[in-house]
Amino acid sequence: MIKQFNNIYKKECILFVNLGTPDSYKPKDVKKYLKEFLSDPRIIDIPAIPRFLLLNLFILPFRPKKVSPKYEKIWQKDGSPLIIHTNKLKEELEKVLDKKYIVEFAMRYGNPSIDDVLEKIKNMNVNSIKIIPLFPQYSSANAGSINQKIMKIIQKWEIIPSIEFKNYFYDNPNFIYAWSEIGKQYLNNENYDHILFSFHGLPESHIKKLGYKKCLKENCCNAITEDNLYCYKAQCIQTAHLIAESLNLSKENYSISFQSRFGKTIWIEPYTEQTLKNLAKAGYKNILVFSPSFVTDCLETLYEIEIEYQDVFKFAGGNKLQLVQSLNSNPIWVRALEKIIQD
C-alpha cells in the first residue's frame, strides 16, 4: 500500500532549456530578443554601465535591422526552426518515456520563458526537476546562465523540489553515437574531400576567467584533464575527436574551428570562416560540416553555415559546403536522450 501511494503522488519533470529566438523575424522582435540576450552579464562580461552603453548606443540601434533579414531567410511557416524542433523533441521524448516524466521546455531568452514554464511546473507539485540545457559543451554563457536563472527563480518557492542539473554531455557515448549515425548517412551517399567540425565560438576572456594556468597555451585544450575539466574549447575538441573516431576518420581528414564571432574582441581560434578559405585554397572542393555545439538547427546552422559560409567557401575556390542536419528530433537522438536521462 505504501509503494502504491508513493507511485501515485511521485511526479518527476524533465526541463529542457534552449538558447532562444525572437517571436518573429521583424526588427522590433529581433531587438527585443537581442536586448534580453545581450543584457545578460554572462554573455557580455563587462561591468554593467559599459555594457548598458555598448548595448544601447552601438548594438541595438543598428544590429536588429541587420539580423532581421537573416531570420526571415530561415523562418518557417510555423515559426522559428529552433522552437519547432525543440517542441517536436519534447513531443517525441514524451512518447518514448511513456508518462514516466513530465516533459517541458523553455528558452533562456524569449518565449516560452523560463519564468512562465517554471510557474507551470510549480503548479504541478512535482517532486523533482531534471534540468537539461541543450548545450553539449558547458560554458558560463550557456548552461551557467540557465542554471543561475533557474536557481534565482526557484529559491523563492515555498516548496523546493529536488533539483538536478545536467551541465554537459559533450562526451556521452549516446550523444556521440547519434551524431556519428546521422553523419554516416551523408558519408555513405557522397564523397567529401574533408570534414569540418564547426563549434559556436566564445570570446577568449570567457575561457581565461576559469583560471586555468595553461589556458589557451601549449595545446592545453587538446585533451580533457583534471586541470581543464570545464574548459569549453577542450570539451568541443574532445567532442570532435570522439565523433571522428566513431566515423573512423584519420586526423588529416578533419579540422576543428569556431564560428559566430561577434564584435572586435579576440575569440577562440581558429575561426570557421578563415578555415574554410584555407581549405578552399588548399584544393579541397567538397566539405561536410558538422556543428556539434548545437543539437537543434537554428540561425547559426541554417543561415551562417548553409548560406554565409557556403558563399565564403565558393568565393575562395570551393565547390560545395554540405551541412550535416542537426540532431533536432531525429529518432536516433530521441533514443539517445532517453538513455542520457535514465542514466
Alpha-carbon distance of 310 to 134, in angstroms, equals: 26
- Which segment of 19-28, 209-218, 247-256 scores lowest on mean pLDDT? 209-218
Note the pLDDT tens digit of each residue in 106-128: 999 999 999 999 999 999 999 99
Q: Looking at domain 2-168+332-338, which of 3.40.50.1400, 3.40.50.720, 3.20.20.70, 3.30.56.10 is its CATH number?
A: 3.40.50.1400
pLDDT tens profile 76-94: 999 999 999 999 999 999 9
Helix 145-154 vs helix 114-122: angle between axes, to the nearest 10 degrees?
A: 40
Pick the CATH number of 173-328 from 3.40.640.10, 3.40.50.1360, 3.40.50.1400, 3.40.190.80: 3.40.50.1400
Domain ranges of the chain: 2-168+332-338, 173-328
Q: Which residues contact 328 (CB under 8 A, 6 or more apart)?
A: 85, 88, 89, 295, 296, 297
Residue 99 pLDDT > 60, yes or no?
Answer: yes
At 79, phi and psi to the nearest 5?
120, -150
pTM of the full predicted structure?
0.94
